[in-house]
Amino acid sequence: MRDPIADLRRIAFLLERANEATYRVRAFRSAAAALGGLTDEELTDRATAGTLTELAGVGAVTARCVAESLAGAEPVYLRRLLATEGADLDDAAAALRAALRGDCHTHSDWSDGGSPIEEMALAAVELGHEYLALTDHSPRLTVARGLTAARLRRQLDHVAALNAALPEGFRILTGIEVDILPDGSLDQSDELLDRLDVVVGSVHANLRDDRARMTRRMLAAVTNPRLDILGHCTGRMVTSRPPGVTGPGDRGHRARSRPPSDFDAQAVFAACAQHGKAVEINSRPERQDPPKRLIRLAVEAGCRFAVNTDAHAPGQLDWQRFGCARAVLCGVTAQHVVNAWPAARLLDWTAAHRSGRAG
Ligand SMILES: [Zn+2]
Ligand SMILES: [Zn+2]
């Protein structure tokens, strides 16, 4: 039998040691104090009835930890902290990178990438990948030469021909980075989306939608059976760069920042977890999206992840290490990362969404 109060105190201790924000620590200390006054029976009854949060000092997160603890499981929040505690993060990031078998978000010169598909594929082979999902943009992103339905059909034929010529043990997966439109629908026909191996859905326009509207929009997208991965979910742009990256990027504009869009991340990540969708950890230096705070929230929600490069050129396929470094800081482990799976398992997972299963 676990002691839920001891678990809350342990979490507070680990947060303090990691020098996390005081308000986060206080949430656990206050909950431990509030619940410490109850008898075991009162605690169990309240947890069963879902009334723990009626007590002053007990919030939804701490109540969930208590419920997990009473059920005999290590609270997810605690597990995340223990996963990063004392770990050599460089080693952990390298281990996660080594566990990745492919990349689920890349662009070619069919949309706004700089290189032909075959060059991207050969670079992926050299990096040791088993697969590369080609996810060029969708029609309405005209600035990025989004593919019309007709061009995407041609691309599918082209990829089939390339795959026939590529080395055994490697394949290009078909895909798209489909725009999540203002009403939450996806910017490509259902018939074509159904044919693709991997569908990444991203918001590129109307990033300043108000919170309620953006939340509805994203919930509509992640609950759509045709979406597999939620791409760069906040749309933010940052000016800081990881070590070794100095340039402003290849996107034809100078380094500029953009705040994250506003949405109810807890609700969106809960929907991702429920429907078996992956939250992308976008490795691009100018994106670093989602921010670490949100990656932690997604870990706590029980989400899967995809550590993607969003590469627009072959050399950028090596940027996964940036995403891995951020992921391990937040307690993401390889077992929760869909592109650490072999291609067959990845494809089972995406096929499960189309047939209405969580996968
Ligand atoms: Zn994008
Ligand atoms: Zn992209």
User: Could you tell me where the DSSP H helices lie in 40-99?
Assistant: 40-49, 60-70, 76-84, 89-99
Amino acid at 166: L
State mean pLDDT over 275-287. 96
- Distance (angstroms) between ligand 2 centre and the Cα of 252 equals 15
Q: Which of 29-43, 83-97, 239-253, 274-288 has the lowest mean pLDDT?
A: 239-253
CA 347, CA 5: separation in Å to the nearest integer? Answer: 42
- Distance (angstroms) between ligand 2 centre and the Cα of 202 equals 8
User: What does the block give as tokens for 33?
Assistant: 């104090």
- Region of 310 (left: φ > 0; alpha: ψ -120 to 50; beta: rest) is left
Query: What's the sign of the alpha-carbon dihedral 127, 239, 24, 46?
Result: negative
Position 126 scores a pLDDT of 92
Position 1 scores a pLDDT of 77
CA 359, CA 354: separation in Å to the nearest integer? Answer: 10
Mean confidence (pLDDT) of the chain: 93
pLDDT > 90? residue 136: yes
pLDDT > 70? residue 247: no
pLDDT > 80? residue 93: yes
Ligand 1 is a single-atom ion; what residues have CB below 5 A from it?
202
Choose among 324, 332, 298: nearest CA to 83: 332
Q: Which-ligand-closest: CA of 112?
A: 2
pLDDT tier at 248 (50, 70, 90 boundaries)? Answer: low
Q: Which-ligand-closest: CA of 106?
A: 2
pLDDT tier at 13 (50, 70, 90 boundaries)? Answer: confident
Whole-number CA gyration radius for the chain: 21
Position 214 scores a pLDDT of 98
CB 186 within 8 A of CB 152: no
Position 252 scores a pLDDT of 42
Position 113 scores a pLDDT of 93
pLDDT > 50? residue 331: yes
- Distance (angstroms) between ligand 2 centre and the Cα of 254 equals 18
Please state, in angstroms and as integers, the Cα–Cα distance from residue 160 to each residue in 105, 157, 174, following that order.
18, 5, 9
* pLDDT tens by residue, 180-190: 999 999 999 99
pLDDT tier at 267 (50, 70, 90 boundaries)? Answer: very high
List of E strands, the chain: 102-106, 131-134, 171-179, 198-202, 229-230, 278-282, 304-308
- Distance (angstroms) between ligand 2 centre and the Cα of 65 equals 36
Ligand 2 is a single-atom ion; what residues have CB below 5 A from it?
177, 310
CA 28, CA 213: separation in Å to the nearest integer? Answer: 32
State mean pLDDT over 107-124. 95
Position 246 scores a pLDDT of 61
Position 21 scores a pLDDT of 76
State mean pLDDT over 212-241. 96
Position 340 scores a pLDDT of 98
User: What does the block give as tokens for 313?
Assistant: 């050129």
Please state, in angstroms and as integers, the Cα–Cα distance from residue 39 to each residue in 46, 69, 81, 249, following that order.
11, 16, 28, 59
Residue keyed to tokens 């109060």: 5
For every residue of 9-35, DSSP letters joined together read HHHHHHHHHTT--HHHHHHHHHHHHHH
Percent of the chain residues past pLDDT 70, beyond the cut: 96
Position 263 scores a pLDDT of 98
- Distance (angstroms) between ligand 1 centre and the Cα of 97 equals 22
State mean pLDDT over 49-61. 93
- Distance (angstroms) between ligand 2 centre and the Cα of 144 equals 10
Q: Which-ligand-closest: CA of 175?
A: 2
pLDDT > 90? residue 95: yes
- Distance (angstroms) between ligand 1 centre and the Cα of 232 equals 7
Position 241 scores a pLDDT of 75
pLDDT > 70? residue 75: yes
- Distance (angstroms) between ligand 2 centre and the Cα of 13 equals 39
- Distance (angstroms) between ligand 2 centre and the Cα of 105 equals 6
